[in-house]
Amino acid sequence: MLPLWLEPLAWLVDAGGVILVVIALVATLLFSLALERGLFFHITYQRARRRLIARWVARTEHLSWSARTLREVWTRELIARLRRPLPWLRLLVACCPLLGLLGTVTGMITVFDSLALSDTSQARAMADGVARATLPTLTGMAVAVIGLLFTSRLEQVIRREEQWLHDLLAEAVEDTHA
């Protein structure tokens, strides 16, 4: 008898095989990174952006080449912190359909093995096995689509923030000189 907290895991293994558990772990990691980025953006990044603007406004000189270069370096460093986990998110999104396909292939091999061993061609057993084998593909694609939507949204937010940060720094200087 399995402990109660392990029953969903046993159901996953029974429904779609071990690969479905791997997809669930990848999805957990993917959505954990997504949640972390959301919290980072709304808490840490907002504070860092305010500090950057205050540090830029506190400078006495804003118009020289070195001042503009410094502003660009500060902006790129802050945006780079926001962009840091994007390669990992893309990698996890790309792995999900591949893991789903791997689950389907291994599931189909299991179906064909069981049909070969039973010496019967039961259509119902084969249909059940094929349905079980395609579950990892469905799961992998669903996780990948949701992860892709989040990754695309994050890239859009980063591009918007980069432009907005440049505009904010330029306006902050104009406001202090006016």
Give pLDDT tens digits along the chain (178 positions).
778 887 877 777 777 778 888 999 999 999 999 999 999 999 999 999 999 989 988 888 888 889 889 989 999 999 999 999 999 999 999 999 999 999 889 888 887 777 777 666 676 667 777 878 888 999 999 999 999 999 999 999 999 999 998 888 888 777 655 5
CA 165, distance to chain mean position in Å, is 24
C-alpha 165/C-alpha 145 separation (Å) is 30
CA quadruple 99, 104, 106, 107: dihedral positive or negative?
positive
C-alpha 165/C-alpha 37 separation (Å) is 18
| pLDDT given for residue 92 in this prediction | 96
pTM of the full predicted structure? 0.80
- SS3 of residue 119 by DSSP: coil
Tell me the HSE value of 16 on the side-chain side, using a 13 A CA sphere. 22
If one counts every other C-beta atom within 10 angstroms of the C-beta of residue 78, the result is: 18
